[in-house]
Structure 1
Amino acid sequence: MSDQKNVMRELLDGYGQTYAAEAGIPLKDTPQPLYRTLVLASLLSARIRASVAVASARALYDAGLRDPRRMADATWQQRVDALGEGGYRRYDERTATQLGDGARLVLDEWGGDLRTVRERADGDVDELRAQLRRMPGLGPTGVDIFLREVQDVWSEYAPFLDAKTLQGAERLGLPKDPAALVRLTGDAPRAEVAAALVRAALDKSVVQECLARAGDRGH
């Protein structure tokens, strides 16, 4: 157990930043940060590098497209240009369309406020998933990313450790049981734990570094 705690400590120390934090989103339970996190989750779910998705989320914000009203009111070309600024070029045209359609859905169905979705789901994760899946371009992977990121502000869904996080745990030799993983993390924010485990799932060098550092700590 002490070895596993060392591994988890090294993982959180080195890679415990959430993707929202990396994208400059000060996540709290208010409309704009929640919407920006949903956009980030949609970008992260595509088959591109996470760093490009994060940069593109920042570029959308820098272009003023930081809430559903501004996203919906922007032209398609403005959305394409912002995505391109972030390096998001492979899917930029389709994604620009989806972002516009999704922003209009958020405005029309949820009053521009994702807390409406939370209230309607009332703690039912399946209902929440079903509602979020209505967003154009947001499939199961994107929904999981969103829930991983918001679980500390929507605490009724914490700990949210999906298949990707458990894959990271397995690579690190950590328990694949969510309850056992949580016991190893102490009072660390659950979203940071999930983000760190995802980075281990995506990058073998993260695993190698954490195991080596934990081994050094143990000697």
Structure 2
Amino acid sequence: MPPKKKTPKAKTVNGDEMTNTVEKHSKEETNAIKDEEIKPEPESNASARKDQEADGKAPKKRGKDASTDEPRKASRRSNRSGAKSEPSKQQLLNYMISPAAAELTRPDDEIEDVQSRGEIKTYSASVLSPFEELLCAVILSRPISHRLGLRTIRTVLNDPYNFNSARSLKDAGEEKRLKSVYDARTQHKDKTAAQMGIIAEAVLDNFTSSSDKDGTELQKLRDDCGDDIGEAANQLKSHIKGLGKTGLEIFFRRVQWIWTAAFPNIDGRTADSLRMLGLPQDGSELEGLIEEHWKKLETKHLAGDGEEAKKKRAFVVLLERATGAQLEQKIDAVLNAAAEA
């Protein structure tokens, strides 16, 4: 008779690696991860893994002669199956900054989450503080899918965690930070939780001020660096382990409406999204297009104190919608909706 096959012993989990608080999530995580997007789709064209080793150079403002960020020479329709209608520039701008565009360009699971939980903070549609933007940039630059990144953000910024400042993130402690990423059912949980702790410590130690003791506004960094965005990028890079080129691009793209020294800035990935929509990929040109049609756009819902701040906010919202449309493969849907709006 042939020898009986030995049944392999189940691997045990290292007790130091998992606390009692998060053990109950293991079965849920195992089932959930089977349905998740396993292939990483970081927000930038560059490899997210390589970006964590990249230098901390500030993102350059995209200009006509910027060779490093020049969009690929291809038809703007190269990744489209063909929109039924072509909106005018005014129609497209007006739709892109509207709440309706936020719904169309966000992931389905985020729509369901908002419907289920009501008014929650989301990366796609909420006005976030500089600290929240920094935390989000680090999460989105990790080698995970964009959807997993957005779900992690929704988890850590809302109840029951509310990691909305460096102080709240540090005071939460290691165990609660780890529990939050297990609840988010994301990948690289231990590394992500550890990095969140590093961000909290770095901001509290280096970037707070007497008027910003909780590290919400990164006020000391802004005061010390002023208009020198390159120096600000170097400071962030030197103090926050794992923050590379991709994370810095995401961060400055999002905060440029309040940190105006970085305005108008368009990174390479976003430029590709704008190209597919038929919009300018040069920051100054896109700013000029918004200015040209501003009086005819619906802008009352936009954040910002005063008209100039609202224009810069519109610029940032437009970039976010363009990126979301590409990642969700909704370029044609956006063009059709804009034409029919």
TM bin, normalised by shorter chain, reads 0.7 to 0.9
- Counterpart of 2:229? 125
Structure showing greater Rg: 2
- Counterpart of 2:319? 194
User: Displacement, 1:99?
Assistant: 1.1
1:85 to 2:183 alignment:
yes
- Counterpart of 2:334? 210
Deviations 1:96-137 (A, max 9, x none): 111112211111122353111111221112112112223122
User: Displacement, 1:12?
Assistant: 2.7
- RMSD between aligned residues: 2.8
Kindly indicate which of the two structures has a greater share of residues assigned to helix.
Answer: 1
Worse-superposed segment, 193-202 or 167-176: 193-202
TM-score by length of 2: 0.54
Match runs of 1:8-23 below 5 Å: 8-13=93-98, 14-15=100-101, 22-23=122-123
Q: Which runs of 5+ in 2 are unaligned?
A: 1-86, 107-119, 209-213, 295-310
Deviations 1:22-50 (A, max 9, x none): 248543xxxxx322221111112223343
Taking the aligned partners of 1:16 and 1:154, their CA distance within structure 2 comes to 23
1:141 to 2:246 alignment:
yes
Taking the aligned partners of 1:6 and 1:43, their CA distance within structure 2 comes to 33
Contact kept in structure 1, 2:101 and 2:321, CA below 8 Å:
yes
- Counterpart of 1:30? none
- Could you tell me which amino acid in structure 1 is paired with residue 337 of structure 2? R
Contact kept in structure 1, 2:266 and 2:281, CA below 8 Å:
no
- Identity value in percent: 25
Contact kept in structure 1, 2:229 and 2:261, CA below 8 Å:
no
Deviations 1:31-79 (A, max 9, x none): xx32222111111222334343233223223224332233223332321
- Could you tell me which amino acid in structure 2 is paired with residue 123 of structure 1? D
Contact kept in structure 1, 2:101 and 2:334, CA below 8 Å:
no
Q: Which runs of 5+ in 1 are unaligned?
A: 28-32
TM-score by length of 1: 0.81
User: Displacement, 1:214?
Assistant: 4.3
Task: Give the aligned length.
Answer: 209
Q: 1:15 to 1:84 in 2, by over 3 A?
A: farther
Taking the aligned partners of 1:167 and 1:64, their CA distance within structure 2 comes to 33
User: Displacement, 1:15?
Assistant: 3.1
- The higher relative CO (CA closer than 8 Å, separation ≥ 6) is in 2
Match runs of 1:49-128 below 5 Å: 49-61=145-157, 62=159, 63-88=161-186, 90-111=187-208, 113=215, 114-128=218-232
User: Displacement, 1:82?
Assistant: 0.4
